[in-house]
Amino acid sequence: MPYSSARREGIRDGMAVVVGYIPFALALGAAFGSAGVDPFIAWLSSPVMIAGAAQLVTVEMLGAGMGAAVVLTTALVVNARHVLYSATMASLVGHWRRRARWIAAYLLADPMFALAVARFRAGDSVERRSADRSYFFAASWACWTGWLVLTGAGVLLGHLLPATLPLDVATPLTFLLLLLPSLETSAMRAAAVTGGAVAVIASGLPLGLGLLAGALAGVAAGALAQPAFTREPEETTHV
């Protein structure tokens, strides 16, 4: 696939994600404006973390006067699922240059992980892997730009937004729709169903622990559904 075609496809998919961001990002920006923290400082959490749940929690904690150490620890707990994302991505982008891997790690938000897992395949040709890299960064920068613009608009226009915007639903649904095409095996389907069910059941837990519980349960279910190894057929000898 030519690099220009991969980039166009990445921008297209990235903009589709941005459309799904709209209600969540605008409502999040509005929450920044009323969190008791300077709105510009609160908005700066967007380029720093690119993670809506962690941004909301940390900005609210800062507004409540919590200490920096507590806020930082909370952000790490809420974003702990990214450790699982990185473990999955390691085998798919290990051939990239170190600088590209560092930038990709910064840009690896939930929807980008879904897009990458659905598209990348270990062992692809060099040309295909290069096209995948072009796709990833085109989609990522589209998502990054859209996220910053939308959260900024929420800060500026938050007083005009209705209180009924689905803050908790929009982005998880977008993530799920992106992930569905990649569920090719029973292990993947078991992981998705189990992880989603546990995350919903545990959604009332503080500090975003429900999402982390869902991620861990999904990984465990997928591991149990996947055969541990494939036994090679035994050789027979003829006397």
187 class by beta-carbon count within 10 Å (0-12 exposed, 13-18 middle, 19+ buried): middle
Token pair 């799920």 is at which residue? Answer: 176
Name the more confident of 212 and 220: 220
Q: What is the pLDDT of residue 181?
A: 54
The pair of three-digit structure tokens given for residue 41, joined into one six-digit string: 């400082």
In the chain, what percentage of residues exceed pLDDT 90? 13
Q: What is the 3-state secondary structure (H, E, C) of the chain?
A: CCHHHHHHHHHHHHHHHHHHHHHHHHHHHHHHHCCCCCHHHHHCHHHHHCCHHHHHHHHHHHHCCCCHHHHHHHHHHHCCHHHHHHHHHHHHHCCCCHHHHHHHHHHCCHHHHHHHHHHCCCCCCHHHHHHHHHHHHHHHHHHHHHHHHHHHHHHHHHHHCCCCCCCCCHHHHHHHHHHHHHCCCHHHHHHHHHHHHHHHHCCCCHHHHHHHHHHHHHHHHHHHHCCCCCCCCCCCCCC
Which tens digits make up the pLDDT trace of 83-134?
A: 888 888 888 888 888 999 999 999 998 888 888 887 887 556 777 788 889 9
Q: What is the pLDDT of residues 157-202, one digit of tens each?
A: 876 766 665 555 554 555 555 555 556 667 666 777 777 777 777 7
Confidence tier at 6 by pLDDT (50, 70, 90): confident
Three-class HEC string of 11-35: HHHHHHHHHHHHHHHHHHHHHHHCC
Whether pLDDT at 154 is above 50:
yes
Domain boundaries, the chain: 3-167, 183-227
Q: Is the dihedral of CA 190, 94, 99, 72 positive or negative?
A: positive
Across 30-56, average pLDDT: 82
Please give the Cα distance from 196 to 124 (Å, whole number): 30
The end-to-end CA distance of the chain, in Å, is 53
